[in-house]
Chains A and B, each alone.
Chain A
Amino acid sequence: MPFYGFKGGIHPDYNKTATAGKAVEVLPVKEGGHYFIPLAQHIGAPAKALVKKGQEVKAGELIGKSAGFISANIHASVSGKVVGLQNIPHPVAGKVPGVVIEAAGDQDDIMPVEEGEKFQDTVLNAGIVGLGGATFPTNVKLSPPKEVDTLIINGAECEPYLTCDHRLMLENAEEILKGALTIQKELGINYLIIAIEENKPDALEVFSKLGENYEFELVPLEVKYPQGGEKQLIKATVDRVVPEGALPLEVGVIVHNVGTCVAVYDAIEKKKPLIERLVTVTGAVGEPKNLLVRIGTPVSEIIEHCGGFPEGVRKVVMGGPMMGFAIPSLDTPMMKGTSGLIAFRESDMPNLKQTNCIRCGRCVDVCPMGLIPAIMDRYVVKEMYEELADWHVMNCIECGCCSFDCPSRRNLASGFKTSKREVMKILKAREAEAKK
């Protein structure tokens, strides 16, 4: 099995033992409980609400319609009554419009997905987005404008603490594979690669057994963050370099997360829309768990189910500790892209006292994109966006390796993330200038 690796990356403490051995539990729907379903759970335009206050909805019913090319459908995750159309806390956007449903009893019955003419339409109808965290609408990714010869299934799960993909690979391996094979067949892709980090030997074992009956290539990955980054994964497994500013399909590859494959399988084979997902609840909670949770469940309820917080919890992160978002409120609901909930006490948190850059070059060593964060940071501080553009800030994948390794605790990655919007304007202006 070939493995080529990539340059840079880090080895944080993985902290996965608390939940790696725990089978997935289903969080029951709470009768009378309120479920807050944001209409923007994906990259791109928010969905348009289709329901009115007071209306009865069924689990799986379409309540938000995909608005535009890069957008996704939103379904009711529980049956019940729409009790509000209101703004809902969101970890990134502050507040976003959403639908609040009061859950009724009987939850077994889920409305099937409307089958589309094409396979991609069914995926669109099911409201599937990339479940690795980037939440890019999957139907768009499954409609490549160019020929693709390789499909890579991403089972790296390189973020510390998270284990939900790991559990999924152990408990739903066949579904993952069938979802992947469906994608492979529909798009006429030659090679199927399943890539899993070596720190999950049991998952590798499961897939290597499946390999007796199905045709795919299993690639064990070096344990290193950000091994699951799309461009890093492609470099490591098929040794192709995605050009700067381009998508993986430029080199004939598409990458899908293991969870996305299961969602595709569910939509195509079971006609089930995306209304629930796996989440790892860990850190400073009573009992860390891997939970199957309905979209829209408030974080507070999930935490309660996991035994609540010990004394002194100061920060709750949605997603992984490297790229996740600290949430301001426990009213924030579970979303399609939420892979983890991690609670930190003061004593779990690093000292974040920022000091001057000492030019140690550690950020340069660890950057998987070959950037020079230390120099870019100077331009961020001085808001010199022209220079930032010249130092390739747009190629930053915001993985946070530089910030992680910085001994001066400079907020490198977040600075680049917030600067990119301004840099984008400059690049567009340059392009327009060049066209004249």
Chain B
Amino acid sequence: MSQDKLLVTFSPHVRDRMTSDRIMLLVVLALVPSMLVSVYVYGFYAIKTYALTILFCLAFEAGFQKIRGTAITLGDNSALLTAILLAMNMPPNPPWWLLMVGSLVAIVISKQVFGGLGHNPFNPALVGRVFLLIAWPAQMTGWIEASTVKAGFAFDTVSAATPLGQVKAEVLTHGEIVSDNLAGMTDLLVGTVNGCLGGDSAIAVLIGGLFLIYKKIIRWHVPATYLGTVFVLTGIYWFFSPDKTLTPIQHLFAGGLMLGAFFMATDYVTSPMTPKGQIIFGVGCGVLTVVIRLFGGYPEGVAFSILIMNAFVPIIDNYMRPKSFGEAAA
């Protein structure tokens, strides 16, 4: 062996096997149960939405990096993950151009212009969703009735409202909930309920989320404090005016809360790094979600509240620095 070929690198000379691209892939894997449920419920529409969003997102990521002359980083799987999360935040059957604009906003405007993975202050998929929600409210709330595979493939759909949307509408017009049995617990858990593609099935999201906690990809702090805060606050409100809102359990499982708590609010890049910071973040998301759901103009508040809390992450990180070992108590 020739000696001048010895490689000199800094210590440590051994590393853990986990890499960033594997982490992203594990998160994608954790989303598979939710994807399967959405395909079961919305059939062809779901498949089409996932396929188009993935295509657009990967194309925008690679295209933008090509134009800028930087390395193309599709291999880190972050664009794939953003694409799936964005698709899950869409109504079941959106027009193709809506997906294209959403992908453009998510990948280019909210991630790549800031410097790509790791540098974006806001969750890209949520920026995409909220932009579309504000710019094309009609298309973004074109719900169709959740049935089973057959409906989607038969192109025979009935438009419908989400449980949260219906409650909001009824309370605004009648001052209280008028319809009985808005959304059964079984429907909420299994996912046969009208709404966005992903997150409809509380059980599917929970399986993926617990898998991520088990694999130590995410910590329990954000999901637990987020869901806990929503449960407690909606519980208090419901206790005093049960005719004006869903039960706290229904609040937990309705809309995008479960998906948001396990997969969006835990996004590494846009959430705090320390356990204490993550608790503050989770509680903040919970409070904002409840305020928007109960008193805001929108029936759902998950996307807005996470984005607003994203803005506080740098300051939370700064003030929630743990004590350095042996640091004088001051």
Contacts and interface: CB of A to CB of B under 8 A. Distances in A.
Real complex partners, A and B? yes
Interface of A: 10, 12-13, 160, 231, 235, 241-246, 309, 313-317, 319, 321-331, 342, 344, 349-352, 355-361, 364, 368-372, 374-375, 391-392, 395, 400, 403-409, 411, 413-414, 417
B interface secondary structure, majority: loop
A324 B273 contact: no
A243 to B, nearest CB: 5
Interface in B303-328: 317, 321-328
B327 A160 contact: no
A372 B321 contact: yes
The residue in A328, A368, A407, A414 that gathers the most chain B C-beta atoms within 10 A of its C-beta is A407
B326 A350 contact: no
B76 A355 contact: yes
B3 A329 contact: yes
Given A326-B8, A329-B6, A361-B268, A404 B15 contact: yes
Interface of B: 1, 3-20, 22-23, 73, 76, 78, 115-119, 219, 268-269, 271, 273-274, 317, 321-328
A131 B116 CA distance: 46
A369 B13 contact: no
Contacts of B269: 358-359
Contact of A407 (B20, B271, B274): B20
Contact of A413 (B12, B268, B274): B12
Contacts of A349: 7, 13
A378 B36 CA distance: 40
A368 B16 contact: no
A231 B5 contact: no
Given A309-B1, A359-B273, A241 B321 contact: no
A364 B272 CA distance: 11
Nearest to A315: B7
Given A357-B118, A405-B16, A407-B18, 11 more contacts: A231-B326, A243-B328, A244-B326, A330-B6, A344-B13, A356-B115, A360-B273, A370-B327, A400-B11, A407-B16, A407-B19
A244 B6 contact: no
Contacts of B325: 231, 235, 241-242, 244, 368-370, 395
A346 to B, nearest CB: 9
Nearest to B269: A359
Contact of B15 (A326, A352, A359): A352
Contacts of A244: 324-328
Contacts of A160: 14
Nearest to B327: A244
Nearest to A303: B1
B73 to A, nearest CB: 8
Given A356-B116, A358-B268, A342 B324 contact: no
Nearest to B219: A361
A361 B274 contact: yes
Contacts of B327: 244, 370, 392, 395
